[in-house]
A and B are shown apart, each in its own frame.
Chain A
Amino acid sequence: MKRRDALKNIGLSAGLIVATPTVISLLNSCSTDSNKWSPVFLNKEQSKVLIDIVDIIIPKTDTPSANEVNVVEFLDKYYKEILDDNRQKWLKETYASLLNLIKSNYSDTINDLTEDNYKDLLDNHMILNGESNDISELLKNIKSDTIWAYKISEFVGENVLAYDPIPGVAYCGDLEELTGGKSWSL
């Protein structure tokens, strides 16, 4: 991927810069193309569901959405390369259960699912407080993994969050003045 070089060439890695439409469109050209990319851990249907869910969790605003920084490609590879056998087994089983639930509640055809279907799924099956179950655990995991993957993506780390690889100094100051209210990415 030449995205990093491309951004550097137009001077974007120099510091705190708000993403402009030009940047977003440049970014779009680097994001996951579902026609070319094939999942290595999830199956096609599961990855399609994940692609749809992550953009509900982190939608496009004046900054990129989760898919615009390749969150699903990252997580699918992470599932395969990092998680241990037990965790992988649980994920496979629970993704399968999730798909069954989605099909029985909304539509047999994954491509027909709407944004409202997914919001309904998250509203009713992600249990933040109270007794959880495997589906809820999976949805909460998807939420936390999506947040993690989004925040450590190169574009978000360097351009959306406050990025300061070589601070040179250490002191306390005003949050707004230092980062415009954002977290540091490192």
Chain B
Amino acid sequence: MTDQQYDAIVIGTGISGGWAAKELCENGLKTLVLERGRMIKHIEDYHTANLDPWDMPNGGRITPEIKERKFKQHRTGYVTDPVCEHFFVDDIKHPYNEVRRFDWIRGYHVGGKSLVWGRQSYRLSEIDFEANKKDGTAVDWPIRYKDIAPWYSHVEKYIGVSGENLGLPQLPDSEFLKPLTLNCAEEDFKVSVAKNMNDRVVTPARVAHITEGTKPGLGRSTCQYRNRCMRGCPYGAYFSSNSSTLPAADATGNMTLRPHSIVHKIIYDEKTKSASEVEIIDGETRQKHTFKAKIIFLCASTVPSTSILMQSTSKRFPNGLGNDSGELGHNIMDHHFVVGASAKIENFKEKYYKGRKPGGIYIPRFRNIGGNSDSKDFIRGYGYQGGAYRTSMSEVVAELKYGPELKEAILKPGGWRIGVTGFGETLPDHNNKMYLDYDKLDEWGLPTVTFDADFGENELAMRKDMKDQAVKMFKSAGYKDVEGYDSIDSRAMGLGIHEMGTARMGHDPKTSVLNKYNQIHTCKNVFVTDGSFMTSSACQNPSLTYMAFTARAANYAAKQFKNGNL
């Protein structure tokens, strides 16, 4: 097919691709944005957004057909819910292989996982960027907090993040809209932790929701507290590529968005020592196309971006584009979680809430940040997410069999419960990897991905503390029926949907794939700005960091382009 020339090509339309598209287009670059899946139009394609349980067949229960087609996605237990399952892939159509179990949760459509993300938005801190160097793990991050701080601000002001500034060194302040209010039980817990534990604090979850005013995009407005975010928000209240960055890119007139474009190779030009073209297979027509550009942003999400680099072999790069170090595909990380505690709160029986908040509480990291916080058993740390709520019916229901008394009880709320789950940092380990299997091809004739990774000793040691400290907090608050948990079954990597680290940044091309501007060390017109660049995982939810690094890299690329350096 005929070649078409662009200034830049962005591969992927999720949280990173949307930001790359916006920043490049706003800098005046003619940009082709490639998405492997179908179009999802903001509002128009959120067909379940306003459905109540009685509007869904069988009350919205997951059908055997969905479980059969999406058996790996179903490991989460929630993404196969009929209200949102259309935003997640069919595992039979998109197979992968597991030497060790890996829960690879994917959304192949315009907007990617930005439509269904958890929206928790926390900055990494100087402690995180220095960690690898200080404790001699893997390689050093090539940047420090001061390099990325202005880009965090840039992103936060644009997308809208609600939260409360605490002035903590381990969790930097952000550009916040007003925080979500804690409900009375959460407030009680906050007061108790402040009184009983002098090393930690409870704060409202920092979430990418508009809580006041508006933000740029397709008519974005304030959160209506429906908590149906995973269906797509008709108010555009939470940030997604579809409601925010892609419309901004489109408004410049510089963006060409092309769905159904499965990128399988980036062509390296030996003469110019740079990437020259991107090859795609059209997902509908099955025809191959080639597009030329001066700059390529690879934002297909961690595993697909790494796969594309691995498939992009050439004489110069026989092991995959930019893979002189042999680290491509290695060091895969995800946060480990589903460990914590829950308890019953006996007070506040006369209290209830109005509105369904899209976020609860957060307890920032308090381990290994100096002084008395240091642990002998593990390095790095974890934060907790959680919330308090009333159960949907009175506890009396369990004791009754039938009749008007039972009927009355099922219509009354039950007592308050509170729960937290830790999100722990995972160390990069060269032995944790993904690679391609050319013997098992997908329906487009492309190699499938094989995972071979698991959490290590440091993570397992950390989990003991994650459970114990959660129990301790609830007991010290005087809550009842305190139960710690550590869900071994949910312990496989991937379930956090924070897969990262397979094309890491570093100072040295011999030990890393990307430099401090997310450029491939040895092919500088290719930038990789999704989770694959992460040199360490920290314990914070990573999407905000992907956005900040993408914005920084895109503005750097645009400047280099204008100066004729790219």
Residue positions of A touching B, CB distance < 8 A: 56-59, 61, 63, 74, 77-78, 81-82, 84, 119, 122-123, 126, 128, 143, 147-154, 157-158, 160-161, 164-176, 178-179, 181-186
Contact = CB atoms under 8 A, between A and B. Distances in A.
Contacts of B393: 147, 151, 183
B59 A148 contact: yes
Contacts of A77: 58
Contacts of A128: 398-399, 401
B358 to A, nearest CB: 9
B61 A164 contact: no
Nearest to B394: A183
Among B180, B187, B357, B404, chain A packs the most CB atoms within 10 A around the CB of B404
User: For A63, A149, A170, A186, which residue has the most chain B Cβ atoms within 10 angstroms?
Assistant: A170
B401 A143 contact: yes
Contact of B407 (A59, A126, A169, A174): A59
A169 to B, nearest CB: 5
Contact of B183 (A61, A172, A183): A172
Given A182-B411, A183-B411, A173 B354 contact: yes
A123 B401 contact: yes
8 contacts: A77-B58, A82-B58, A149-B59, A161-B411, A179-B352, A183-B390, A183-B412, A186-B53
Q: Could you say which interface size class chain B belongs to?
A: 35 or more
Contact of A147 (B355, B390, B397): B397
B58 A57 contact: no
Nearest to B358: A170
Nearest to A139: B401
Contacts of B350: 174-176
Nearest to B352: A175
B181 interface: yes
Contacts of A84: 64
**In this complex, which of B58, B224, B397 has the most chain A Cβ atoms within 10 angstroms of its Cβ?**
B58
B135 interface: no
Interface string B388-403: 0010110001110111
B57 to A, nearest CB: 7
Interface in B216-257: 224-226
Given A167-B225, A172-B183, A57 B54 contact: no
Interface in B50-73: 50, 52-55, 57-59, 61-64
A172 B58 CA distance: 32
B400 to A, nearest CB: 8
Closest 6 CB pairs of A and B: A170-B355, A167-B355, A154-B54, A152-B53, A175-B352, A172-B184
B412 A182 contact: yes
Nearest to A148: B59
B100 interface: no
Interface in B320-374: 349-357
Given A57-B403, A147-B397, 20 more contacts: A63-B411, A82-B63, A123-B401, A128-B398, A151-B393, A152-B59, A157-B52, A158-B52, A160-B411, A166-B226, A168-B225, A170-B354, A170-B356, A171-B183, A172-B183, A172-B353, A175-B352, A176-B350, A178-B352, A182-B412
Interface string B415-455: 00000000000000000000000000000000000000000
A78 B410 CA distance: 21
A164 B180 CA distance: 19
A78 B61 contact: yes
B413 interface: yes
B406 interface: yes
A46 to B, nearest CB: 19
A119 B87 CA distance: 47
B36 to A, nearest CB: 31
